Amino acid sequence: MASSDTRTGRPPRTSVWLEERPASKRKGTGAGAGGGGTREQHGQSGQPEGLDREKITAAAVRLLDADGLAKFSMRRLAAELGVTAMSVYWYVDSKDDLLELAMDAAEGELDLPDPADTEADWREQLRHLAYEYRRLFNVHPWVSQMVGSYLNIGPHAMAFSHAAQGIMRRTGLPAPQLTGAMAALFQFVYGYSTTEASWNGRCRAAGLSADEYLSTVYGKIEGRAEYEDSLRLMEQGGGSTVHEMRERDFTVALDCILAGMDALTVATHTTRDRAENPHGPSQPAQSAQRP
């Protein structure tokens, strides 16, 4: 049984998806609390008219995309919706709950392959998932700041998880290795994409494009001995723009991870076969669905 928060005496917060609440139960005092001067109208129950959880969540996503997580507040959201801040609490109990709803709404934009499609190559399906996951963090950079701080177990997050798990089971890896292999893939995508999104934000703050910013950096380090090896390696890699270099590196890294899954599958099955038949001929195992 979970212990209580020593400051409030209430059980510790888990997730909005694990809490049971009426669809529009208001927290706090009357619907008009917090001041006037808004467009909202209230029905006989005092509940704001023309407002629902989906509209509130969509507005939250828009604000988070525009201003980022640090500037997000319930008052800014209420102003966007044209209602009082307290009116939002008819539909959500807290800012944390709303942020969870917004995160899952953003994850609902992911295009998921069918894990039950046994005719599809699992490598290409995982590649597709990886690119979709990367796109999520670039379109909605605030999501990467929330991963790990929230349980992320909403319906769209779980749909992504189920798709990934279903595809991973077709790799041929034994069950004890599946979660580690998934971590290698998606933790890589998370780290790469979070760094990518942070770089984009730095460029925007400087008022420069990614290429302009990189050119400025190059201009300051060219000719300096301590950077020669790194500059030479970047030149050898090819790519004339930041976008081209990013795509190259992401693709190569992803190829390495998928090839590693293939190799681990073969090695694991070969080791198992030798253990089961130590005196018989050992034939290399084949990775699942090799094209």
pLDDT on residue 257: 98
pLDDT in tens, 244-268: 999 999 999 999 999 999 999 999 8
CA 51 from chain center: how many Å? 28
How much is the pLDDT for 278?
77
- What is the spatial distance between Cα 71 and Cα 51, in angstroms, rounded to a whole number? 23
Q: 148, 137 in Cβ contact below 8 A?
A: no
Token look-up 């699992």 returns 122
pTM for this one?
Answer: 0.82
- Classify residue 112 as left (phi > 0), alpha (psi -120 to 50) or beta: beta
**With pLDDT > 90 as the criterion, what percentage of the chain qualifies?**
69
Whole-angstrom distance, CA of residue 152 vs CA of residue 17? 9
Q: Tell me how far apart the alpha carbons of residues 46 and 23 are, in angstroms, rounded to a whole number.
A: 14
Q: What is the pLDDT of residue 12?
A: 81
Cα 46 from Cα 29, distance rounded (Å)? 11
Model confidence at 282: pLDDT above 60: no
Cβ atoms < 10 Å from Cβ of 124? 13
pLDDT at 147 over 70: yes
- Better pLDDT: 32 or 185: 185
Give the per-residue SS3 of 14-81. Answer: CCHHHCCCCCCCCCCCCCCCCCCCCCCCECCCCCECCCCHHHHHHHHHHHHHHHCCCCCCHHHHHHHH
Q: What is the pLDDT of residue 166?
A: 97
H-type alpha helices, 83-121: 95-107
Q: Which residue has the higher pLDDT, 36 or 180?
A: 180
Dist. CA 278–CA 276, nearest whole Å: 6
Contacts of 133 (CB under 8 A, 6+ apart): 110, 160, 186, 189, 190, 193
Which of the residue ranges 3-7, 86-90, 172-176 would you say has the lowest mean pLDDT? 3-7
Q: Which two tokens stand for residue 208?
A: 């420069």
Q: What is the CA radius of gyration of the chain?
A: 25
Which has more confidence, 1 or 181? 181
